Structure 1
Amino acid sequence: MTTTSSPVLDRIRVGSAPDSWGVWFPDDPQQVPWTRFLDEVSEAGYEWIELGPYGYLPTDPLRLVDELARRSLKVSAGTVFTALHRGPGVWDATWEHVAEVAELTKAMGARHLVVIPSFWRDDKTAELIESSELTGEQWGHLAGGMERLAHEVRERYGLDIMVHPHADTHIDTEEHVVRFLDSTDSDLVNLCLDTGHYAYCGGDSVKLIKTYGERIGYLHLKQVDPDILADVVANQVPFGPAVRRGVMCEPPRGVPELPPVLAAAQDLGVDLFAIVEQDMYPCPPDQPLPIAQRTRRFLRGCGA
């Protein structure tokens, strides 16, 4: 009798994030307390986490180091939102926020800063706040601003930025992602490829990894429910309400299939974080842990 074994994904470092516990904001009564998140992410079998929204976890480095050490957890990255397409006028406010997140990220021993472009809808009301398409001038501001941000973050904090294509932002579809990559310096600006967001926006993660592998520096593992997504697309449902409908689902129930994505990432021959994120804001407090445990078992079965 012959048996098949999962590939050894020894270049992939799996973790999770507050997002998988329904956390989108620094403080929100619908979210689980940070202590419960830390307890449960450790219980689920993860050793790597992201900081999530700045202010959700303690921002005092000594306290956070102690809280993480007691649970055998380590930080892979911090996260910031930016609106650099709006031009030089937003730089000072952007840098003020980025600097505080970068400082904490560095203090945790992490090397990455995940940068998410600002939404063109309000993140709570889903109201349209600006055009979903950038002008040529705005694309120039976005590309130039990201390069400047990458340079400053590297010089001052020793961190590399990973730009996160995201639904309801200006870096979303394959067309927009490729335009952004072609407009930026690969020595400075690379991607956090979120498999769920990219599928949500019609992209093929395996194709992107194989075509632009040298630009993929970080992964978020996520799946979308194809039936719910079809309805979301047909009815132009904003991302927030789509999440509440359950458009993001636990693997292996959705798309893209994660084993081919992980195999393509392994083939790049570099160490990559692959952080599980299942958007569930808001969700019942007892929902995340069982999903996280099942997802960790699934990923181990894939070799990660």
Structure 2
Amino acid sequence: MIKIANAPCSWGVLEFDLEEKSKQMGFEQVLNEIKETGYIGTELGDWGFMPTDPNQLRDEIQKRNLELLGAFVPVALANLNKHDEGVLMALKVAELMYKAGSKDAFIVLADDNGSVSERTQNAGRIQLKMGLSDDQWKDYAQGAEKIAKAVKDAFGIRTVFHHHCAGYVETPQEIEKLLSLTDPNLLGLCLDMGHYAFGGGDPVEALKLYSNRIWHVHFKDFSPEIAKSSRDVNGDYFDAIKRGVFCELGKGMIDFKTIVDLLHQLKYDDWIVVEQDILPGMGHPKVCAQSNRDYIKALGL
């Protein structure tokens, strides 16, 4: 059965070191509003946003009848010197989820997005010359597998890779490259519909192409009009986010009806996580969360 969750990023809890983070609301309000708007699961959010004591974390999740299904872990995988640090961070997060009783949760591994100026400035319009060399690709894939294996060996927790704009795995070609270099039994794909579209691809085609690698799904919509308005002023990734490039579900270009039909055909029976990056001042997260849940219900989920 497909289950619908939301995530703290929809309340402005993002991994980036932005000024707006100082205005984040507390985890209690976020969990309460996730529950009140009809979702049954959540991701962890930034380390330290939710309790890092596993007993307290389990109590907070369970008393709202929610499930903790995963945690986003960014690592600068193109840098060999960051791999061991990435392993330690992923193990710390995995241990917290495991001890909190979330043994089927995912590590959602990603690049250290937004940390390379060229990729951040050119999100949504990446050129081949901005990519990794063959040696860097080997390092990148090695790091992803090293982290996935460490987490699996220690806690039996699976790892999915989240392609992401403003990172080194953004375009359909880069996603294909990473998947071709990694073990399909060790590293799955978290298909994010909005990021795939922003990166220049068609999420419907990605779902067909990578059905055997997709272990986790993010529902995020994408507005090409807002992307263009940002591009016209040479805006970077963060400018596009602040303009609302990831809009409410149903208000962008993503064909969610076809995607839901395909997920049923593929017998996908895991989580769909709704994400709509909302920074403070951009809108009302609870209102958007409710609108997004209502939209998905209209699609039969």
When normalised by structure 2's length, the TM-score is: 0.90
Structure 2 distance, partners of 1:254, 1:170, is: 24
Cα root mean square deviation, aligned:
2.0
Moved more, 265-274 or 167-176: 265-274
List runs of 5+ in structure 2 lacking aligned partners: 123-128
Q: Shift of the alpha carbon at 1:127?
A: 7.3
Structure 2 distance, partners of 1:102, 1:180, is: 23
1:112 aligns with 2:77: no
1:159 maps to 157
Aligned residues: 288
1:256 aligns with 2:248: no
Q: Shift of the alpha carbon at 1:25?
A: 4.3
1:223-273 Cα shifts (integer Å, max 9, x gaps): 011211123345542211111111110011002121111222222223221
Structure 2 distance, partners of 1:194, 1:287, is: 22
1:91 maps to 83
SS at match of 1:223: coil
Structure number with greater CO (CA < 8 Å, separation at least 6) is 1
Residues 103 and 157 of structure 1 are in contact (CA less than 8 Å); yes or no, is this contact kept in structure 2?
Answer: yes
Q: Shift of the alpha carbon at 1:276?
A: 0.3
Structure 1 distance, partners of 2:30, 2:16, is: 13
1:41 maps to 34
1:272 aligns with 2:265: no
Q: Shift of the alpha carbon at 1:120?
A: 5.0
Q: Give the letter aligned to residue 9 of structure 2.
A: D
1:58 maps to 51
- Select 2:12's aligned residue among 19, 22, 35: 22
Structure 1 distance, partners of 2:133, 2:114, is: 14
Superposition pairs of residues 125-164 of structure 1, within 5 angstroms: 132-164=130-162
Structure 2 distance, partners of 1:216, 1:180, is: 14
Q: Shift of the alpha carbon at 1:23?
A: 0.9
Structure 1 distance, partners of 2:197, 2:16, is: 27
List runs of 5+ in structure 1 lacking aligned partners: 1-10
Sequence identity of aligned pairs in percent?
32
- Select 1:174's aligned residue among 172, 175, 188: 172
